[in-house]
Amino acid sequence: MEVTQVSINVTDRAGVDHVIKAQVGVPLMQALRNEGLVDAICGGECACATCHVHIQGGGMEKVGKPSGQEVDMLETSLETQDNSRLSCQVIVSEDLDGLVLTVAQAEG
């Protein structure tokens, strides 16, 4: 049977752990926003960085590095690390099942 949902382990800004379901084929941000874990103010346009997450463990190998406009956006954030991604720019795939991430602290 085709997998349509994966589990993502999320530590929120308060340090509380959650296991959430994310739909394959849609931006990771949507699953996080559905749970109220990110604000995603720009709605996924890569223009706000309020969906910023830090990918933990070996997850960056699966998620991949940011590119182009996402890198530019991340450069404006004080919270940016080597494992930073904007979750609206990550499309959920079956490979991401069990991914571990931390929501970056809000700025400003």
The angle at the Cα of 84, spanning 79 to 89, to the nearest 5 degrees, equals 120
Range list of β-strands (E), the chain: 5-11, 17-23, 52-55, 84-86, 99-103
For the window 55-84, what string marks contact with ligand FES as x by the rule CB under 6 A? ------------------------------
Of 9, 44, 60, 97, the one binding ligand FES by CB under 6 A: 44
Count of Cβ atoms closer than 10 Å to residue 38 Cβ: 27
Of 10, 31, 37, 51, the one binding ligand FES by CB under 6 A: 51
Applying CB under 6 A, the residues found at the interface with ligand FES are 29, 40-42, 44-51, 86, 88
